Structure 1
């Protein structure tokens, strides 16, 4: 199982899969032999979509997160914020431009033992 191969508790894996299911990135198959399958082709699933299905933000600090309501009182005068905004933009570019298929291709080049770990049942 994924839980065993990745050495994570089953309850935590269920939370992850539920989040991915709510985001329509995986679909569930009930019954014996059931499990989870990708709901889209791997090349159509961006890494940013996976992360945002499980986390509230990909921003490195809260002050550059567009959805953050509690802005820092120094937001208009903070020089470091300019750095964080540039970093946030680059992070988003990489995550939006990288797909699940890309990760699987990269994994194939790292070890033969990784190939079986991408099965969802």
Structure 2
């Protein structure tokens, strides 16, 4: 099972917003450049994220996008669900995978899907942002892109 680019890119873009939240709005062009995601693809994803109240747009000079709620309140699962992505390891999602009936291993794959969702739902943007390995990637990306930002976010 693989998560599609839609879900991965949405999480990556939201992480970028969370990283730079203290400095203010971030443009999609900046996220596109730094994270190597197509601008038009980001526009599609952010329309969905905005509908689910995960991001809000800021108009005018210095505008862009911000998180609509604290990073501690946004889970990875919520981001993935917002862009219509399913974390589904089943053979078809429904219990009709064997000629309108559940197949022999359907229950196994349903259980796996629930575990994956539970795992992703237990991690907030803030949790992930505070991981040392993620902080290292942030420092590397900022140096490569010459992006300025405030010191790493730490939560007590």
Over 3 Å counting, the alpha-carbon distance change for 1:15 and 1:54 in structure 2 is same
Over 3 Å counting, the alpha-carbon distance change for 1:62 and 1:35 in structure 2 is farther
How far apart, CA to CA, are the structure 1 residues paired with 2:67 and 2:77? 16
For residues 46-101 of structure 1, the C-alpha deviation after alignment (integer angstroms, 9 at most, x for no partner) is: 111100111242212353x3xx5x8322633x222122012111111101111111
The reply on whether 1:95 has 2:120 as its aligned counterpart is yes
- Aligned-CA RMSD value: 2.4
> Of residues 39, 42, 58 in structure 2, which corresponds to 1:13?
42
The reply on whether 1:23 has 2:48 as its aligned counterpart is no
TM-score with structure 2 setting the length: 0.63
Over 3 Å counting, the alpha-carbon distance change for 1:16 and 1:62 in structure 2 is farther
How far apart, CA to CA, are the structure 2 residues paired with 1:117 and 1:88? 39
How far apart, CA to CA, are the structure 2 residues paired with 1:117 and 1:79? 54
Task: Mark the runs of 5 or more structure 2 residues left unpaired by the alignment.
Answer: 1-29, 150-156
How far apart, CA to CA, are the structure 2 residues paired with 1:21 and 1:62? 31
**What is the deviation of 1:102?**
1.4
**What is the deviation of 1:38?**
0.3
Q: Which moved more, 1:99-108 or 1:41-50?
A: 99-108
Tell me which residue corresponds to 2:104.
Answer: 79
How far apart, CA to CA, are the structure 2 residues paired with 1:56 and 1:117? 32
> Of residues 73, 91, 113 in structure 1, which corresponds to 2:140?
113
Contact persistence 1:26–1:37 (CA under 8 A)? yes
Q: Which moved more, 1:46-55 or 1:101-110?
A: 101-110
How far apart, CA to CA, are the structure 1 residues paired with 2:137 and 2:33? 20
- What is the number of equivalent residue pairs in this alignment? 113
How far apart, CA to CA, are the structure 1 residues paired with 2:81 and 2:91? 15
Q: Which runs of 4+ in 1 moved over 3 A?
A: 114-118
